[in-house]
Structure 1
Amino acid sequence: MRKLTYLAVLEPADEGYGVFFPDIPGCISFGKTIEEAQQMAEEAAGLHIYAMEQEGEEIPKPSKTLDTEDVSGCIVTPITVYPDMIKNEMDNKRVKTNITLPNWLKQIAEENKVNYSRILETALMDYLGLQGKRQGK
Structure 2
Amino acid sequence: MKQVYPIVLHPETEGGFSVSVPDLNIGTQGETVAECLDMARDAIGLWGICEQDAGRSIPAASTLTPPHEAGELVTLVDIDFDAYRRANDMRTIRKNVTIPSYLNDLAERAGVNFSQVLQDGLKQRLGVQ
Same fold by TM (over 0.5)? yes
1:121 aligns with 2:119: no
Give the Å deviation of 1:132: 4.6
Counterpart CA distance in 2 for 1:38 and 1:21 is: 11
Counterpart CA distance in 2 for 1:61 and 1:37 is: 21
1:37 aligns with 2:36: yes
Q: Which runs of 4+ in 1 moved over 3 A?
A: 130-136
Give the 3 Å change call, closer, same or farther, for CA 134–40 of structure 1 in structure 2. Answer: same
Total equivalences in the alignment: 106
| Structure 1 counterpart SS, 2:9 | strand
2:75 to 74, 77, 96: 77
Tell me the residue number matched to 2:9. Answer: 10
Task: Note if contact 2:65-2:74 (Cα within 8 Å) is conserved in structure 1.
Answer: no
Task: Note if contact 2:5-2:77 (Cα within 8 Å) is conserved in structure 1.
Answer: yes
Give the Å deviation of 1:21: 0.5
Given the two structures, how large is their TM-score scaled by the length of structure 2? 0.66
Give the Å deviation of 1:131: 9.4
Tell me the residue number matched to 1:99. Answer: none
Given the two structures, how large is their TM-score scaled by the length of structure 1? 0.63
Give the superposed CA RMSD.
Answer: 3.1
Gaps of 5+ in 1: 96-114
Give the Å deviation of 1:58: 2.2
| Structure 2 counterpart SS, 1:81 | strand
Give the Å deviation of 1:64: 2.5
Give the Å deviation of 1:74: 1.0
Counterpart CA distance in 1 for 2:7 and 2:51 is: 18
Kindly provide the CA deviation profile for residues 51-93 of structure 1, in whole angstroms up to 9, marking residues without a partner as x.
11111122122123212xxx113110100000111122234x3
Task: Note if contact 2:7-2:19 (Cα within 8 Å) is conserved in structure 1.
Answer: yes
